[in-house]
Structure 1
């Protein structure tokens, strides 16, 4: 079995996250760049399948600038077998549709399962897995809290507002997992050393045979979040309830 895992380099959520107001793009220099934690959980799902069947091949794939190679190193240190890095200046500012198209080309054929996180901490689109499955022409299961992988199908549990759903799909398929799915393992010293010898293929859109799109969604304008205003203090002089109601009505909150 061959499992492809999508990972992403994102700004550290403990640091400052800013948009470049001149482009509307993420300012990647505003904080440290790290592997998205949901991506680590996706890797763990694949590695558990590899633990159960040593013949399983795990390939980590990322799309991003040259620095994104670091997230592949983390996946390889955890236990993945190889990596693919899609890097091209033409991908700067790519939207979800363009991203799904390029990643589908990078994934190619000959795989059994694609695993990704349900949403990244920087974009939070939450639709990449479904868009990717459409382009690859396979079924998808999204936002799984638990995953079971067998030789010919994948199944899992998906939470809903009414309870849970047990879902399954025949392979090949695309799945996305949530932060409840699996606690990622910590790379050991042996794994870190082994990662240095594992192959990583770097490709651009020309290598993938993908032409730059004629049109895609763009950011028209961006502005910094306005400074937070001081709240209104209500002194209870016997009319506090009415003042509160009047305020909520004026703000159209009731």
Structure 2
């Protein structure tokens, strides 16, 4: 779809699933986008951050109430020190620059993932924007940073075991486990999108996305526009979601 194509109005999932209220995106392809152009990988990450801003602003008009984006995984620490430090700097600049705009536009920003490994200054920025935007309701933006689904489940299991040991619950249910996840209180994603042509979920929301619809697009994240998102929302809205029913 051309980058300058006019967005289409997102329609509802059929089969009783409702519209795509919550979209989760694995933003892949930043480094590849830059490398293909002979530029440093961090150039691609900076361009990717600009795309985030555009997609965030388009979501309310497309009927998306919740947007969860995969920014940095627990496995991404394996990358070069230069790239990791550069990414952390991009995250910090994004928070500083977007705090006022998000507050004005009604975006609530939250983070999931383990924070203890992140720089204390970045942790402070994260906590600050979470507090500043806590009352916003137009769009819920969740950023997964130092996030891994297996790590989240392990941490949730520890919390759940503590509740059982304290006698708060006798036997754990799915709802009890969900309440111990980083995403407690968030609806499960209706749709998970991965850019760049890869066909895997890479440890992203394995519990929450058990019944999500999936869409894999060859478009690299720096080239992914609101028009692409609108086109995917329109196409996937025609799918039947049965949630195990006949």
Interval containing the TM-score (normalised by the shorter chain): 0.3 to 0.5
TM-score, reference length from structure 2? 0.34
TM-score by length of 1: 0.33
Which is richer in helix?
Answer: 2
Q: Give the number of the structure with larger relative contact order, counting CA–CA contacts within 8 Å between residues 6 or more apart.
A: 2
